[in-house]
Amino acid sequence: MENDADLPRRIGVYAVERELGAGGMGKVYLARSPGGRAVAVKVVRPELAADPHFRERFRAEVAAARRVGGFHTAPVVDADPDAQSPWLATAYVPGPTLAELVERQGPLDEERLRSLGAALAEALQAVHACGLVHRDLKPGNIIMAEDGPRVLDFGIARAVEATRLTATGATFGTPGYLAPEQARGEQVNGAADVFAFGAVLVAAAGGSAFGGGAPMGLMYRSVHEPADLSALPGELRALVGACLAKDPADRPAPETLLASLGPDPNPDLVPDTNTLALAAPDRPRAAPPVPALAPDVPGGVDEPPRPAPSRKPRVITLLIVAVAVASALAGGLLALTRQGDDKKSGSPPATAPESRRTTPQASTPQASAPPSEPPSPRPSAAPKDRVTIVVTAGSEGSWISAKGHNGRSLFDGTLESGETKEFADKRRIDLVLGDASAVQLVVNGKVIPNDFSPGQVERFTYNRGD
């Protein structure tokens, strides 16, 4: 937040009272109209304001955003795309953001998740019907008002009907909620908002669809790794998993979401749960299960109850044991009877055959016995591959993700210039290097040369024996 001394006194005709927050496009201020009405004014960042292409797109978006209606959005009341710092004013909606609510009160239960999802789906319907794509749907842009959730911040929404006005590779939005096509800098449509919708519901349930850490790591996982749906109730996982599909064509439309989550589901629109599960490419593949980790596998569904074991094998086992015990008792009685008879007759007592009393080595003639060998020592633990990462001097740092052979995270974060990190695993180490050109790899003491371009993301896997 800015100090009062740093606040702009006025934006257009609106008197600024305080800063509400900041996002990927600029800062938002609470201000008052000349008549005393509260408005939220968003001011564009200077670097975006200097881009004439952005101004052109912003002007088109403002014109489209004025047409957005619905119960779950904040209407645009004013804007000035030609100001030195372009700005957009919407009606101010009091209440905490979804992010603040979850932080204060904890995760939403299933009923409240469904209610939130229905409201957001209705808001996206209204936005998309006007030819807009929000492009930055996240918990910080959702106000939990008394009369229901409101979606804010159309400042970086993109008009679908507009031509390509964004420079190639430009990416707007918030990592962790960006759709894969957004993270790659490709053109997007309403399916990108549906992806963010899925990530928002995971966050509202107390989870994080793509973990935490550095922004580059979040973006990488959203493109390449399945979403973690473990925080969601089981009934919602298939629907949200479909929203988080990597392919935009596999995501359901807002109408389908509303029909599935609303209080009165429309049977003609609600998709079959199995169909949704198949539509989501993030569902677990036919990989061998890991029993200890199965309940926490991201995107997994609850394990079906196992059938009760049959009692027949148990009965048979008991019968076998009973017969064996009876045979042993009979054999013991017979031996005692014979021993008594032998004593009476003066015969030596009967003994077991030699082969049953001695080990096989003792019963073997000495001449043919193999030379004795010392017992084999227990196999020592397999040596571990050691991978050392050194971020080279002069670089700004690099995001690093490292996982062991069982998928356990060894490290996920940013290493600054000059920092070193070492990882060890007995079978395999999977590495993702956010800025591979800034990283020097040393594997088991051997330097691995690289000639990667600056900013390039690279993935490596080191297996035993490589």
Number of neighbours of residue 326 by Cβ within 10 angstroms: 10
Dist CA 245 CA 271 (whole Å) = 16
What digits encode the pLDDT tens for the residues 359-407?
333 333 344 444 455 555 554 555 565 667 676 656 667 788 888 888 7
Which pLDDT band, with edges at 50, 70 and 90, does 60 fall under? Answer: confident
Side-by-side strand order, sheet with 10-11 = 10-11, 14-22, 26-32, 38-44, 87-91, 76-80
Q: Go through 7-21 and write b for each residue having 16 or more CB atoms within 10 A of its CB, e for each that does not.
A: bbeebeebebeebbb
End-to-end CA distance of the chain: 51
Closest by Cα among 51, 43, 45, 46 to 8:
43
- Please tell me the predicted confidence (pLDDT) of residue 316: 37
Contact 384, 425 (CB under 8 A): yes
Look-up of token digits 């894969």: 180
| pTM of the full structure | 0.64
What's the mean per-residue pLDDT of the chain? 74
The DSSP element (H or E) to which 43 belongs, if any, is: strand 38-44
Range with the poorest average pLDDT among 39-43, 142-146, 382-386: 382-386
What digits encode the pLDDT tens for the residues 300-340?
333 334 444 444 444 334 334 344 444 444 444 334 344 44
3-state secondary structure 320-387: HHHHHHHHHHHHHHHHHHHHHHHHHHCCCCCCCCHHHHCCHHHHCCHHHCCCCCCCCCCCCCCCCEEE
Dist CA 394 CA 392 (whole Å) = 6
Dist CA 289 CA 297 (whole Å) = 10
- Please tell me the predicted confidence (pLDDT) of residue 191: 97
Closest by Cα among 55, 18, 63 to 39:
18
Closest by Cα among 426, 423, 428 to 381:
426
Number of neighbours of residue 97 by Cβ within 10 angstroms: 19
Token duo for residue 67: 């047409």
Dist CA 231 CA 237 (whole Å) = 9
| 95-161+173-284: CATH topology | Transferase(Phosphotransferase); domain 1 (1.10.510)
Contact 398, 434 (CB under 8 A): yes
Q: Please compute, for residue 196, the number of CA atoms within 13 A of its CA located in the half-sphere on the CB side.
A: 29
Which pLDDT band, with edges at 50, 70 and 90, does 3 fall under? Answer: low
Dist CA 312 CA 310 (whole Å) = 6
What digits encode the pLDDT tens for the residues 115-136?
999 999 999 998 898 888 888 8
Burial class of residue 159 (count of CB atoms within 10 Å of its CB; 0-12, 13-18, 19+): buried
Number of neighbours of residue 328 by Cβ within 10 angstroms: 10
Dist CA 113 CA 131 (whole Å) = 27
Range list of H helices, 5-109: 46-49, 52-65, 98-105
The DSSP element (H or E) to which 89 belongs, if any, is: strand 87-91
Q: Which residue is catalytic, options 6, 109, 136, 296?
A: 136
Contact 342, 349 (CB under 8 A): yes
Token duo for residue 329: 């008792």
| 1-92: CATH topology | Phosphorylase Kinase; domain 1 (3.30.200)
Let me know if the fold of 1-92 is the same as that of 95-161+173-284: no
- Please tell me the predicted confidence (pLDDT) of residue 425: 82
The DSSP element (H or E) to which 224 belongs, if any, is: helix 215-224
Q: What are the structural domain ranges in the chain?
A: 1-92, 95-161+173-284, 385-463
Q: Please compute, for residue 118, the number of CA atoms within 13 A of its CA located in the half-sphere on the CB side.
A: 16
- Known active-site residue 282: no
3-state secondary structure of 288: coil
